Structure 1
Amino acid sequence: MAVAAIAGGTFAFKALDKSVKLVVDGKTQSVSTYASNVEGVLKDANVKVVKRDDLTPKLTAAVADGGTIVLNRARPLAIDIDGVHSKKWVTAYTVEEALSQLGIDGGADVSASRSQRLPLKGASLEVTTPKTVAINVDGQAISVVSTGATVKDVLDAQSISLVEGDFTTPAVDTPVTSGMQVDVTRVRTTTTQEAQPVPYSTSEQPDGTMNKGDKKVVTKGVAGEQVVTYTVTTTNGVVSAKTQVSAQVTVAPVNEVVNVGTKEAPVAAAPAPSGSGAGSSGGGSNAGAIPSSGGLNWPALAQCESSGNPKAVSPAGYMGLYQFDQRTWNANGGSGSPLDASAAQQTAIAQNLYNARGISPWPSCGPKLLS
């Protein structure tokens, strides 16, 4: 009877023994236990549970033979998301699961492998979430989704290179934000050469054989040639600066030399007006002596044009001894009105006109100048 009692007790004891599957942070072990609830099983397995841990089922839940207990222990996670630092507690035991618990986009760029296990003592992660960025480069507008942390990272991912002189707005080290616009500016500096004329200068020298007011070109000026070197800066293909670096004269200019008369012109008495000269206003009076100049017969020309009257005005509006219009008078050195000038002054301006155009301004009377 004693043997039977012992045997019966053994069977009863065996009946209370259970085999429970315990999964801790993804690792499974089998626990043989007489405990009636989850808390007892964990105690038998020497597994402690703290407040932030995730336990299924709860501590007070009953356990049966063949049951399963899942424990995911909490661990601290120092995380940097797009430059924002924070500390989180997660019950995930891999990086992938931690990101999922925190609701971070699956396309985010992470500083560690997603399959890496997280130790109980904690870990640090840097996360860059995908962002939409608009890029203006080389005349094109590009929209990209990037996990680059900085503007440079975004450009590198698109194989957009920068060379010396290029720059971006904002700068390449600027952290990326969603909706950011990046403008790439290309700056190039080249050297170019241009052929340009070299202007000549004009000098005057006195000539005692010529009357005052007379001028004669003795050496005609000729422009030279030079090669001018520039540095040219373009910004996005448009010239933004042009600076001369050097100039090399290849053909020297020939400077112009002009002789200027210094001899006083002789003064001749003006003939009495006949009242029948070309352009005469009629009834004019002699207002002063008419000087001769350079061997030319100015009195004869004046007599023909105006009957020698410095105040003569023709019906067509021509004025003075030599019947100037106002425009011709001004163009040849005259000032004011010819009618206000002396006979000598009018003759000096007529001399200038003759030097420039010969006798052509006086088609009818001009030959008398040469008589």
Structure 2
Amino acid sequence: MSKISTMKNLFRGSLRSKQTVVGVVSLILFVSVVSFIVFQVTKDSVVVNANGKEEEFSTHAKTVGDLLEQEGIVITQYDKVSPSLNTEIVNGLTIDWEQAREVTISVDGSQSKVWTTESKVKNILEEANIEVTEHDVLSQALDAEVGETNQIDIQKAFQLTLVDGLEERQVWSTSTTVANFLKQQGIQLNEFDRVENDLEKEITPEDKITVVRVEKVTDVVEESIDFAVETKSDSSLLKGKEKVVAKGEKGKVSRTYEVIKENGKVIEKVLKSEDVIQKPTTKVVAVGTKVVTAAVSRSNSASSSSSSKEFYVTATAYTAGCAGCSGVTATGLTLKDGMKVIAVDPSVIPLGTKVWVEGYGNAIAADKGSAIKGNKIDVFVSSTNQANSWGRKKVRIKILN
């Protein structure tokens, strides 16, 4: 065979070999493309809603747990996944994932930590079994989102007594000092008001906070001024008798007081000034100085009963303090314990007469009385008991001068 024929045969063989290789490569490429397309087409489309943000995935994962693990999503025991991790993947499935976060709850300074997927304050507290009342103070409203701080501060309220002036009531408070408590309760203190408690003292349940309401007011009043009494001796009047010569009249004065009240009650009243509006008029009284010295009369109508200087009379007793008595006799004597004085009818026994009375002794007729008429006398004794013991009796009487 010629060289040319041999070269032609070699070229044709070589060409067939190249065509075979290309065909094999093309077939492999075609199978790969078809396999890839089949792989992609057979994937399930799944939507993952993570904390409100949606993302779509195509997957061959068999369960929800497999999918999340393939995507590098770590699920903790506090997270919420719906449907459950064991749920089989189907095309069009939506997976909701709520990631838990750690929240610090402080109650009166005592802290605790909880993991939760809730966002509202009230839901977190319910989940943590922490009860709050309308009087407690929270750092955030119950309906508010807990926020990025992941902390809830609670001040628990307690009851104590507030006395504001005359009003006493039970109130709730979360304040730590008396001053803060009064501010919380809206208590306004006026210039002179005072608080019985130390404003910096920490309050505790069952405390009593007392506010005293103090007022300083000016009070102007008209008041009367008593008149003076002036006495003048009058020799024309019987000793012990008095006669009003000039009638006294009270005056008027305007007085200005500073009045201090505590809870409406006056505790101090200070006179600041006074102005006399009308001066008082002095009362003038004439006092008798005339002393009567009488001898026994023999010519009067009763002479028949007393001419012998000894006769019987009906005798009663009286004291200086008896009803209608002044303590001063008709002749001007001031009655004192131990004195021997009798009241008589001057027409029978003249005033000033010295006498002897049976059962009484020597005495002087120095007084008279409206009920002492005729042969009657009233003996002076020191006490009511003595007067009652004397009673009413008939006694013998002697005229001594």
Paired amino acid for 1:123: Q
Paired amino acid for 2:52: G
CA contact (8 A) 2:137 2:174 kept: no
Does the C-alpha gap of structure 1 residues 276 and 211 become closer, same or farther in structure 2, counting only changes over 3 Å?
Answer: closer
Alignment pair present for 1:123 and 2:151 = yes
CA contact (8 A) 1:110 1:126 kept: yes
Corresponding residue number in structure 2 for 1:241: 266
Q: Unpaired runs of 5+ in structure 2?
A: 1-26, 176-180, 329-333, 343-351, 355-362, 375-401
Paired amino acid for 1:14: Q
Counterpart selection for 2:75 from 49, 56, 62: 49
Alignment pair present for 1:77 and 2:78 = no
CA contact (8 A) 1:197 1:225 kept: yes
Aligned residue for 1:200, secondary structure, equals: coil
Counterpart selection for 2:296 from 258, 261, 271: 271
Alignment pair present for 1:28 and 2:54 = yes
Count of paired positions: 308
Partners of 2:218 and 2:34 lie apart in 1 by 108
Corresponding residue number in structure 1 for 2:341: 340
- More strand by percentage: 2
Paired amino acid for 1:124: I
Cα distance per residue 1:233-292 (max 9 Å; x no partner): 485xxx52264332514233345566767x7x77746225678449x9867848xxxxxx
CA contact (8 A) 2:341 2:367 kept: no
Corresponding residue number in structure 1 for 2:36: 10
Aligned residue for 1:47, secondary structure, equals: coil
CA contact (8 A) 2:214 2:260 kept: no
Does the C-alpha gap of structure 1 residues 201 and 268 become closer, same or farther in structure 2, counting only changes over 3 Å?
Answer: closer
Map 1:87-236 onto structure 2 (within 5 A): 87-89=112-114, 90-95=116-121, 97-98=123-124, 101=127, 110-112=138-140, 114-116=143-145, 118-119=147-148, 122-126=150-154, 164=190, 190-202=217-229, 221-230=248-257, 231=259, 233=261, 235=263
Map 1:290-369 onto structure 2 (within 5 A): 327-330=323-326, 332=328, 333-335=334-336, 340-341=341-342, 343=353
Partners of 2:308 and 2:327 lie apart in 1 by 26
CA RMSD of aligned residues (A): 6.1
Partners of 1:283 and 1:167 lie apart in 2 by 88
Q: Unpaired runs of 5+ in structure 1?
A: 287-308, 354-359, 365-371
CA contact (8 A) 1:72 1:93 kept: no
Does the C-alpha gap of structure 1 residues 51 and 284 become closer, same or farther in structure 2, counting only changes over 3 Å?
Answer: farther
Partners of 1:266 and 1:9 lie apart in 2 by 161
Displacement of 1:76 in angstroms is 1.3
Partners of 2:260 and 2:83 lie apart in 1 by 77
- Higher CA-based Rg: 2
Displacement of 1:195 in angstroms is 1.8
Identity fraction in percent: 17
Displacement of 1:153 in angstroms is 8.4
CA contact (8 A) 1:329 1:349 kept: no
Aligned residue for 2:73, secondary structure, equals: coil
Partners of 1:127 and 1:328 lie apart in 2 by 80
Displacement of 1:55 in angstroms is 3.5
CA contact (8 A) 1:24 1:72 kept: yes
Partners of 2:60 and 2:326 lie apart in 1 by 131
